[in-house]
């Protein structure tokens, strides 16, 4: 069987290659031969995740024609890439992109530092904010008052407390998506929801299409469940979802699941418009793929004057294609560990049945606390506080980065919690390594990619403000200087993307 999971046409590859900024030629530098320039261009596209790993490249003759170069040039470029481990080929199956074997590029998830270990480190590893007090205290007090009737039960509610399921269902209905409580299961965070969904729908070895980049911990959860990740490159900047690519991947790879974060995507911050949402649902429906939509960031929109696009499930209200995941972690507090699934009632029944062999249920007290917030209107007030904090943090971080690291490139999203930053040609992995030494913790780009893509990126969350944001940028600039001077600790990862 061929080792590729999607293909790129010569016209599209040509466009991507010409969109690359030419590398500035230093004094006395000779232009590289044409085959080398082509090989470097393709390698950079792979490292930046713009051409995902396991993408079949066009045949030599076809690419030569599209780029108006000789076939020998393309053959020599492909040969060079094969030699460097960025391309694999098999007679009859073609050539597909790869990353060099034996280079332990970090692709694991993100392990948060325990709060007591933080000390003098500025932790930009986790995209989560402290609790929006006084709402946490009030919600827990409210929950304690409502606990007595539940204390007389066995306390196992594998689908979630009926009162909370009803409350969550009513919120979807209020958004114009009629929902019954039977369509909701309360879970232990969005992570618990997606874990359960993966187990129900996709067996070991089955394919899941994922945005490239995507949220690191979900990618790792899927890898550990034995799923085969099929990356679909996000378009540049905040443009997000390239529907031609999605349609092609869903058609070619026919994955069992596709996982998307359409609202303030983690890490890029992109927000899908209604047309992208409708088209994603249509493409998934045609391919027979279940579209898992993670709405963890949905409520963190900063622009009051802008109407949010309709939820993705509005384009499939019965839930035959779309399974929606929600969470209290970003809108309220990650320490609650409350998430939920919205799906067709039969899907919820299967998820609930399977739960007997997983975590049995979600803690009752925390469910009561979230229910109290939703019932009293405390939720809306807490979320409004959150939005204000996150917006202020974003502005502080953006200003500090522009001052300290003017060569770093990023787009500024209108919500969510993350900035996806191209680190001026430096290796994100080295920056992460050196950052720990100078007192700032940042996750490197490859954690958000599949198989080593995004080496030139770091993800910075909106979790610090004021003087701490300034200091974070100062430390990042110190790390960048150390990496530029070649003082990053060893490892196989190249210091910069330019070999």
Ligand X SMILES: Cc1ncc(COP(=O)(O)O)c(C=O)c1O
Which CB sits closer to ligand X, 329 or 429? Answer: 329
Peptide bond into 429 cis (omega under 30): no
Q: Are 137 and 153 in contact (CB under 8 A)?
A: no
Binding marks (x or -) toward ligand X, 176..195, rule CB under 6 A? Answer: -------------xxx----
Give 3-state DSSP helix, strand, coil % of the chain, rounded to 5. Answer: 45, 15, 40
Q: Which of residues 378-437 bind ligand X (CB under 6 A)?
A: none
Measured from the CB of residue 496, what is the shortest distance to ligand X in angstroms? 29
Measured from the CB of residue 416, what is the shortest distance to ligand X in angstroms? 8
Q: Helix and strand tally (H, E) in the chain?
A: 16, 15
Measured from the CB of residue 138, what is the shortest distance to ligand X in angstroms? 21
Count CB neighbours of 489 within 10 A.
Answer: 10
Which CB sits closer to ligand X, 211 or 433? Answer: 211
- Distance in angstroms (rounded) separating the CA atoms of residues 292 and 472: 35
Q: Which residue is nearest to ligand X (CB)?
A: 189
Q: Are 280 and 313 in contact (CB under 8 A)?
A: no
Which CB sits closer to ligand X, 266 or 289? Answer: 266
Which CB sits closer to ligand X, 99 or 334? Answer: 334
Q: Which of residues 295-324 bind ligand X (CB under 6 A)?
A: 296-297
- Binding segment for ligand X (CB under 6 A), chosen from 53-61, 246-254, 291-299, 395-403, is 291-299
The count of chain residues that interact with ligand X, using the rule CB under 6 A, is 14
Measured from the CB of residue 327, what is the shortest distance to ligand X in angstroms? 3
- Binding segment for ligand X (CB under 6 A), chosen from 62-70, 156-164, 292-300, 362-370, is 292-300
Residues 6+ apart with CB under 8 A from 15: none
φ, ψ of residue 103 to 5 degrees: the values are -95, 105
Which CB sits closer to ligand X, 233 or 338? Answer: 338
Measured from the CB of residue 436, what is the shortest distance to ligand X in angstroms? 20
Q: Are 186 and 370 in contact (CB under 8 A)?
A: no
The burial of 235, by beta-carbon neighbours within 10 Å (0-12 exposed, 13-18 middle, 19 or more buried), is given as middle
Q: Which residues pair with 441 in a beta bridge?
A: 123
Which CB sits closer to ligand X, 276 or 329? Answer: 329
Token pair 């929109």 is found at 301
CA dist 108 → 217, 344, 411, 428, 452 (Å)? 8, 32, 25, 14, 10
Which CB sits closer to ligand X, 5 or 362? Answer: 362
Tokens of 273: 């418009």
Measured from the CB of residue 329, what is the shortest distance to ligand X in angstroms? 3
Among 261, 292, 423, 464, binds ligand X (CB under 6 A): 261
Going by C-alpha positions, the residue among 14, 7, 19 that lies closest to residue 63 is: 14
Helix (H, G, I), strand (E, B) or coil at 341: strand
Which CB sits closer to ligand X, 6 or 296? Answer: 296
Measured from the CB of residue 112, what is the shortest distance to ligand X in angstroms? 10
Which CB sits closer to ligand X, 47 or 331? Answer: 331
266's enclosing H/E stretch is none
Going by C-alpha positions, the residue among 129, 172, 164 that lies closest to residue 146 is: 164
Check binding of 327 to ligand X (CB under 6 A): yes
Which CB sits closer to ligand X, 46 or 196? Answer: 196
Q: Which of residues 194-253 bind ligand X (CB under 6 A)?
A: 215
Q: Which of residues 50-69 bind ligand X (CB under 6 A)?
A: none
Which CB sits closer to ligand X, 190 or 464? Answer: 190
- Distance in angstroms (rounded) separating the CA atoms of residues 194 and 200: 10
Among 106, 231, 339, 443, binds ligand X (CB under 6 A): 339
Query: Which DSSP string corresponds to 80-110?
Result: HHHHHTSEEEETTTEEEE---TT--------
Measured from the CB of residue 120, what is the shortest distance to ligand X in angstroms? 24
- Distance in angstroms (rounded) separating the CA atoms of residues 81 and 55: 14
Measured from the CB of residue 86, what is the shortest distance to ligand X in angstroms? 29
Helix (H, G, I), strand (E, B) or coil at 139: helix
The number of C-alpha atoms within 13 Å of 126 and in the hemisphere containing its C-beta is 16
Binding marks (x or -) toward ligand X, 127..166, rule CB under 6 A? Answer: x---------------------------------------
Measured from the CB of residue 362, what is the shortest distance to ligand X in angstroms? 11
Measured from the CB of residue 274, what is the shortest distance to ligand X in angstroms? 20
CA 362 to the chain's CA centroid: 25
Query: Which DSSP string corresponds to 453-489?
Result: --TTEEEEES---HHHHHHHHHHHHHHHHHHHTT-S-
Which CB sits closer to ligand X, 80 or 292? Answer: 292
Measured from the CB of residue 407, what is the shortest distance to ligand X in angstroms? 27
Residues that bind ligand X (CB under 6 A): 127, 189-191, 215, 261, 266, 294, 296-297, 327, 329, 334, 339
């Amino acid at each position: 069987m061929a080792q590729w999971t999607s293909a790129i046409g010569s016209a599209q590859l040509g466009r991507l290659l010409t969109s690359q900024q030419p590398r500035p030629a230093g004094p006395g530098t000779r232009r590289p031969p044409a085959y080398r320039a082509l090989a470097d261009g393709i390698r950079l596209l792979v490292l930046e995740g713009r051409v995902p790993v396991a993408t079949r490249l066009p045949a030599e003759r076809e690419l030569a024609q599209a780029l108006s170069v000789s076939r020998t040039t393309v053959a020599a470029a492909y040969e060079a890439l094969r030699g460097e481990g960025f391309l694999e080929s098999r007679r009859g199956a073609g050539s597909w992109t790869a990353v060099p074997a034996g280079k332990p590029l970090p692709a694991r998830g993100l392990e948060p530092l325990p709060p007591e270990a933080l000390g003098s480190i500025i932790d930009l590893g986790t995209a989560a904010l402290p609790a929006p007090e006084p709402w946490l205290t009030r919600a827990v007090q409210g929950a304690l008052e409502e606990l007595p009737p539940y204390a007389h039960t066995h306390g196992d509610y594998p689908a979630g407390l009926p009162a909370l399921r009803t409350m969550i269902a009513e919120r979807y209905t209020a958004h114009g998506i009629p929902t019954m409580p039977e369509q909701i299961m309360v879970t232990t965070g969005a992570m618990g929801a997606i874990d359960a969904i993966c187990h129900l729908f996709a067996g070991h070895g089955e394919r899941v299409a994922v945005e490239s980049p995507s949220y690191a911990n979900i990618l790792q959860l899927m890898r550990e469940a034995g799923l085969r990740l099929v990356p679909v490159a996000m378009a540049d900047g905040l443009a997000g979802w390239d529907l031609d690519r999605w349609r092609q991947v869903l058609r070619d790879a026919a994955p069992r699941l596709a996982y998307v974060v359409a609202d303030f995507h983690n890490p890029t911050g992109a927000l899908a418009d209604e047309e992208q949402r409708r088209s994603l649902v249509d493409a998934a429906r045609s391919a027979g793929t279940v579209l898992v939509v993670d709405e963890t960031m949905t409520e963190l929109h900063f622009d009051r004057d802008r109407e949010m696009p309709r939820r993705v499930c509005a384009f499939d209200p019965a839930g035959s294609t779309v399974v929606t995941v929600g969470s209290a972690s970003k809108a309220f507090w990650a320490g609650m560990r409350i998430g939920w699934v919205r799906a067709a009632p039969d899907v919820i029944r299967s998820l609930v049945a399977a739960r007997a062999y997983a975590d049995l249920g979600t803690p009752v007290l925390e469910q009561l606390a979230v229910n109290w917030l939703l019932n009293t209107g405390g939720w809306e007030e807490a979320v409004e506080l959150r939005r204000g904090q996150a917006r202020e943090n974003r502005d502080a971080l953006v200003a500090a980065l522009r001052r300290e690291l003017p060569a770093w490139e990023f787009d500024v999203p209108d919500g969510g919690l993350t900035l996806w930053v191209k680190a001026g040609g430096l290796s994100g992995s080295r920056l992460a390594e050196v950052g720990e030494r100078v007192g700032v913790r940042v996750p490197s780009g490859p954690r958000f990619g599949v198989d080593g893509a995004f080496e030139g990126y770091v993800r910075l969350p909106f979790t610090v403000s004021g003087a701490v944001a300034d200091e974070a940028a100062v430390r990042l600039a110190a790390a960048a200087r150390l990496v530029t001077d070649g003082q990053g600790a060893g490892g196989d990862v190249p210091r910069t993307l330019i070999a």
